[in-house]
């Protein structure tokens, strides 16, 4: 039977239900999502990142703001997300615009990361050419010496982004490729219109 998603008027609530079920079936990285960005001229790029926060405000991930995705989001603050949970035969597609999280929010999340990950945020010029692995290890060692304790400040170039959805699609696998697709689109009054798509 198709999922009863069309009876749920809040797409965030439906997403959380599906995410909870995904964690039960995919305990490793159920929060992995494809993030698609584009340059101002429309050249796309996609990569896997991890969802680190989801609520009525949107969907949050963290990265180096000077990375390729950071530069693309700075120039074109729109993005798409895709969650794929194969054991459940489900996908969720989300499209929207992007904003930075508050510094306090980024600081709070950064403080929860393992020490080596926090040092790595200082050591890595993400997406830039790396001459060889030794250079990354040298820079990591230099930052370990710079911050010998657990008090490692968040680098100014490392923060979070929040995708503010304007459209959701909940896709449920069905026999013979007659899949069930439910779309939530942001309405002018801030609510949601709900409809179906042909598979």
Catalytically annotated residues? 177
Closest CA to 30 of 12, 60, 51: 51
H or E element: which one contains 110?
Answer: helix 103-112
Q: Scanning the structure block, which residue is given the tokens 């001459």?
A: 131
Q: Scanning the structure block, which residue is given the tokens 């790029």?
A: 45
CA distance 130 to 136: 8
> In Å, how far are 39, 63, 106, 120 from 125, measured between CA atoms?
20, 11, 19, 9
Structure tokens at 109: 């999340």
DSSP 6-73: GG-S-HHHHHHHHHHHHHHH--SSTTEEEEEEE-TT--EEEEEEE--EEETTEEEEEEETTSHHHHHH
Axis-axis angle for helices 133-146, 115-123 (nearest 10): 120
Cβ pair 139, 130 in contact under 8 A: no
């Amino acid at each position: 039977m198709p999922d009863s998603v069309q009876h749920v008027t809040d797409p965030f609530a439906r997403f959380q239900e599906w995410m909870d079920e995904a964690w039960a079936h995919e305990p490793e990285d159920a929060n992995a999502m494809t993030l698609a960005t584009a340059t101002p001229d429309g050249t796309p790029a996609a990569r896997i990142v991890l969802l680190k926060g989801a609520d009525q405000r949107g969907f949050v991930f963290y990265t180096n703001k000077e990375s390729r995705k950071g530069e693309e989001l700075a120039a074109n603050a729109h993005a798409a997300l895709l969650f794929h949970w194969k054991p459940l035969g489900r996908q969720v597609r989300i499209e929207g615009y992007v904003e930075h999280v508050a510094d306090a929010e980024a600081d709070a999340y950064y403080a929860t990361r393992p020490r080596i990950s926090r040092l790595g945020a200082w050591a890595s010029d993400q997406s830039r050419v790396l001459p060889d692995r030794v250079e990354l290890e040298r820079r990591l060692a230099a930052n370990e010496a710079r911050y010998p304790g657990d008090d490692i400040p968040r680098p100014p170039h490392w923060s979070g982004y929040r995708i503010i959805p304007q459209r959701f699609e909940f896709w449920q696998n069905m026999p013979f490729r007659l899949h069930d697709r439910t779309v939530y689109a942001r309405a002018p009054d801030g609510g949601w219109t709900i409809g179906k798509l042909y598979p």
